[in-house]
Structure formats: C-alpha cells, structure tokens
Structure 1
Amino acid sequence: MSITRRGFLGASLAAAMDGWQPAAAAGARVTLDQLQPGVYVARAHNAEVARANAGEVVPTLVHVTGAGVLVVDPGPQAAWGGALLGAIRALTPQPVRWVVNTHAHPENVLANAALARLRPRPVFLASAATAALMRQRCADCLARLQAQLGRAAMRGTTIVLPEPALQAGGWLHTGATAWQVQVHDNAHSASDTVLYAPQLRLLCAGGLAYQERVPEMQEASLQGWRQALRQLAALPADTVVATAPGTPAQTLVPTLAYLDALASGIGAALAAGCDASHAIDAVAAAPFRRWRHFHARHPLNVQRAWRQLEDLWMQGEPLA
C-alpha cells in the first residue's frame, strides 16, 4: 500500500498547524509504504545528501498506534516534514504525539521544525548524548545544509531540540506498542539510538545499517559499530528501518560484513608488519565494489579504519 501527498496541506492539517504551510517551491513529496499494519516508512533516496535529492535520504518511520502517531527521524527540512505530515493525514486523523531523533545528523532531524508547529505539539525525544550533540552542532549543520542544498530548499527550517529522555535499557510506550531503547556510543556516530518493538519484530536502527551502499565512517568507531551490529543481529526482527529499509539479511548482515572485512584485512596487514601505504590492498573488497559510492568512499574508510586499528594494535587490543 502506498499513500502519496503533494504540494499544499489540506485545510484540516493547516488549521492544526496554526496556519503554517511548507514552501511550495520546494516541491516536497512523501510516499509512505506500508511495512505491516499501522507501520509505514517514507520512501527516500538510498544515497548521500545532494542538491539533486534535496537531502531527502532518510526513510522516516511512521507508526499509527491507535493512541497517536510515532515519527522516527522526520527528515532534512521543513518542506519535507510538511509533506510528511500531509501523507500522515491521508492515513489517519490521529495526532502526531512522539518524534524520536536517533542521532545528530541534520538530514535526520531538521524536519523537526515542521512537526513542532503542530497543536498539540508532539514530544521530541532523544538520548542525552544525541540531545547534547544537537545542541552543539545543529546551528552549524543547518548552515551547512543551506549551503549544500540552497536556501530555497531549507526555507522555514529552524532548530528544534529534543528532550534527553531516552535511556539505554528503557522503554518507550506508544499506545499498545512497547519499544526497547538501545543507545550505542561511538558506533556509526558519537551516539546512535535504536528502537526495537519485540511484538512487531521491528527494528529501527537509524544510521547503523546500510543497503548496497558503502557505509560512512567519517565520525564512526569501527570497533564500536561492529559491536553494535552484532547486538542488533541477535534480535529476532523481521524488518529493519535504517538508511534503507529491509530485512536483517539485506541491511545488518552486509553492513557488518563490510566492516568486518575492513577489520580483518587491516588487522592481518598490521600483524604482517605492513604500513599504511598497503592499507587499500589489505582489504578484500571485491564483494562490495558494486555498492553505491564505493570508489569515492571506500578508500577514505580504509584510511580511517587503519588509523583506528593501528592505535589499538599498538596498545595490544584484539582487533577481531
């Protein structure tokens, strides 16, 4: 099932949003694909943020609970958030009650601006670490996205910070659905929040898992990311919503395989006495060469991983 909503919002939504409407020039469009009854994901580009895609690269999770709507990672800017709300209204008149920010990347969180104009206002939630990082970074991130995507695409986008209310090992209750909260520090980013609904067999993994796209290691910890993915792979889930939605075999498993290839290849090279000039040759990358952004990103990932693992190896830490 797919629901598509274009352009301006309907009169009922406009009233609920206290007269605010997204910039029509942005042309934002959101299609919600049903994953299971009451659970939807916004169709997004499986790509990096670029002017051509207006930063619309986050498959936002939408859960219609009966007691309100949960939105996880609402997207990159106000126009996208407004179109998302239009698509939600095509599904249900239930209010958006909960908005979760899984990590402090601008393409995930800056559409908070659209949802914050709703009345009643939803509660915005994150881990303490993510909330602190957003407080530190969001002004710079907004300026960077404005420069990257253009001011027209970012019109109406302001910073809305979440409450630091999600705790590792805690639960988020959304109607009849209970979400187990995991917080992984120093993994894909400085802090990554995961929501897992056992009764739905649904895992919302934020930026921790990719699908046929080379992972971004710019601020990642290779060992921390691998550890997080091993924990997630042990959960009995049928569906994973991450940078692209899919099954665990389509998302968690290949992402971990790529990161394991980095670790095993570099670890073997270090043990053999090789130096960083041999880094790119040390990683058995053939299974991943057809992934998006391989030629641009993989060499940078190898360099970052080498620096991290070399430090650990010199300290006598195991690299497996």
Structure 2
Amino acid sequence: MRLLLVGLGLLMNAASWALPALPVTEAAPGVFVHRSEHHWPDRENHGEIANIGFIVGDDCVAVIDSGGSPQQGIALRQAVKKVTAKPICYVINTHVHPDHIYGNRAFKNKGVRFVGHYKLARAMATRAPHYLSKADELLDIRVSPDNIIPPDLQVKQTMSLNLGNRELVLTAHPAAHTDNDLSVYDKNTDTLWLADLLFLEHIPVIDGSIRGWLKELRRLAQNHYKLVIPGHGPLVKDWPLGSQPHIAYLEQLAGEIRAMLKQGKTLEYAVDHAGLSAKKNWQLFEQFHRKNVTIAFAELEWED
C-alpha cells in the first residue's frame, strides 16, 4: 500500500511538471503578465480569473500573485522557467483573495520568500477555513492548507526588493479593496502593479473600505506611470486617465448612498436603487454590485 501511494505521488508530481506554461506577454522589459478573462469564479474556470505574472532581474525573479488554483500556479512556474533560467526568489501576494494566492504551493522551495501586507497573514488565517471548505464545491479544485502560505516578509509601509539591478518598491496600503492590499512599483520600467486596487471592465469589488479606496486611487492619480497593471482588465498606458472609470464608479456609489442616508432610506432601498445607472459600464455588474452597495452603506452610515 505504501509503495502504491508513493507511486501515485510520483505520477502526480510528474503530471504537474508536464502542465503547459501559462501564456504570458512581456508588457515592459522584464515584466511578464498573464491577462485573464472576466468571469464569475466557477467550476469551469477554476477561479483562474486574475491578472498575474512575474518580473525578471539580473539575479532572480519575483512572482506577483500565484494564481487562482494550484494548477495555475504550476503553469505560472512553468512560464517563468520558459522565459529565464534565473531562480525565483520572491512570491508577492497582493492580497488575500483566492484568485491571487491559490497557486502559492507551486513556488514553495528553498530560497523562495513569500511577501505580503502585514495584515495578510491574519486575513489568510481568518478566511482559510471558509476558502478550503468551498474550493472543491465552487471551483472544482483541491486546495489544502499547504496552498495558503502566509508571508515570510511583511510590509508595514514600504519595502524594497532587489532582483539584481532591478529594484521593486512594495507599498502596504490602508484599507481599500481589502484591508491587506499591496502594490509593486518597478523602477526600471516605471511600471506600477496595482493588482486589485484597480479594476477595468470588470466591476470593482469592495471588500474593504469605499472611502479608503477612493482616497488611495485619488492619491495615485496625482502621479504619472508609464504602465499600470490592474488585477482585472487591460493594462493601462494612459495613467492617470485610465483610473477614471474606477474612480467614477466609487464616487457615484458613495454619493448616491450618502444622499439616501440623508433622506432616511434603508439598506434594502439602497440595494435596489443605488448606482444602477452604472450597469452599462461594467461586466459582472449583477454578480457584485449589490454586495458593493451593502458594504458601502454599512461604512457610510457611520461616517461623521
């Protein structure tokens, strides 16, 4: 029996290494991105719905988000090997959501450091039981606690990582999309990897603070970047103009909810009426908008 289990393990490992490399595009010199389609995470796409990728330095590679399934993590690892023989030294998880962390185990190896927001480990620990219990049912994937790897390096404000003549500046943001958002700035190419701090085409999803998210986006919109990489949607080459659809949606939602609160309207009323005119601008509106209203209403109800 033991020999049979060992044999099955070897076969599974060999099969994982045989997976094809994830398709990536070199969006800027040494910056490789896999763009995903806009889908509700389900058993057909296995939760592989986010933009993920990696950055190559002279000495080593930093992976930015590992994917929405263990298999996608393996495919991303294969993509790195296809592009360069340099070792992977960092895996940067930009926040806690499954489409960004479920591939972590594929990169767990000697010399690889996992990096995240200082609140990421707590968020992982809090959400892991729910995530693990639903992965098979909702996404048709097998996820164990080994797939949810907390950061070895925790970013409290900013942190610089040197990949060899390539410095990445990581910033831990206040509560916005979540309470554990991390962005990555590549100085060599003036590329800002915003991950889910920026949504385009796919409706923004609030899991943190609408006020905090607006504040962060407005602050970032005061700067100019050659390239901005969102967590969902096309790459942005006209920043800060490219931030405006996302900002406009949050501003409209916050403005309408504040007006309803002043009128004494209920949460139920807001869910049925707030922000509906934005529907034509966003994919997956029906799936996420009402939840956005609920979260924003609860926050704005208590603002001074």
Distance (whole Å) between structure 2 residues aligned to residue 148 and residue 23 of structure 1: 22
Q: Which runs of 5+ in 2 are unaligned?
A: 1-11
Matched residue, 2:63: 71
Change in 2 beyond 3 A, CA 1:221/1:156: closer
Aligned to 2:255, which of 245, 261, 264?
264
Map Cα deviations across residues 113-171 of structure 1 (whole Å, 9 max, x no partner): 0111x4x44111112211222233334323322221224x6599633322143231332
User: Corresponding residue for 2:42?
Assistant: 50
The aligned amino acid for 1:64 is V
In the alignment, what sits opposite 1:149?
A: 139
Give the aligned residue type for 2:179: A
- Mapped to 1, the partners of 2:127 and 2:264 lie a distance apart of 39
> What is residue 242 of structure 1 aligned with on the other side?
230
How far is 1:294 from its partner? 1.3
- 1:156-198 deviation line (CA, Å, top 9, x unaligned): 9633322143231332222222222221232111211111224
Give TM-score, length-normalised by structure 1: 0.81
2:81 to 85, 89, 94: 89
**Structure 1: distance between partners of 2:133 and 2:21:** 23
Shift of 1:275: 4.2
Q: Which residue of 2 aligns with 1:192?
A: 181
Alpha-carbon distance in 2 for matches of 1:157, 1:53: 22
Give the 3 Å change call, closer, same or farther, for CA 157–31 of structure 1 in structure 2: farther
Whether the 8 Å CA contact 1:22–1:82 is kept in 2: the answer is no
Once the two structures are superposed, the pairs formed by residues 164-175 of structure 1 within 5 Å of their partners are 164-175=153-164
Please tell me whether the aligned partners of residues 95 and 120 of structure 2 are also in contact (alpha carbons under 8 angstroms): yes
The equivalent of 1:130 in structure 2 is 120
Among residues 114, 126, 151, which one is paired with 1:162 in the alignment? 151
- Aligned with 1:52: secondary structure? coil
Distance 1:257 1:182, change over 3 A: same
Matches within 5 A, 1:156-305: 158-217=147-206, 219-244=207-232, 245-247=234-236, 248=239, 252-280=243-271, 283-305=274-296
Secondary structure at the counterpart of residue 23 of structure 2: strand
Structure 2-normalised TM-score? 0.85
- Number of positions where the alignment pairs a residue of Structure 1 with one of Structure 2: 290
Change beyond 3 A, Cα 1:48–1:167: same
Native 8 Å contact 2:221 2:240 kept in 1: no
Q: Which residue of 1 aligns with 2:33?
A: 41
Q: Unpaired runs of 5+ in structure 1?
A: 1-18
Name the SS of the counterpart of 1:53 in structure 2.
Answer: coil
Distance 1:215 1:22, change over 3 A: farther
User: Post-superposition shift, 1:34?
Assistant: 1.3
Corresponding residue SS for 1:35:
strand
Give aligned-pair identity as a percent.
27
Partner of 2:299: 308
Which residue of 2 is the match for residue 102 of structure 1? 94
Distance 1:140 1:121, change over 3 A: farther
Alpha-carbon RMSD = 2.7
Cα deviation digits, residues 201-252 of structure 1 (max 9, x gap): 21111211111121222x3211111112112222321222222242145753
Give the whole-Å Cα distance in 1 for the aligned partners of 2:160 and 2:86.
Answer: 22
Equivalent position amino acid for 2:87 in 1: P
Greater alpha carbon shift after TM alignment, 48-57 vs 174-183: 174-183
Query: What corresponds to 1:11 in structure 2?
Result: none
Query: Match for 2:154: what amino acid?
Result: A
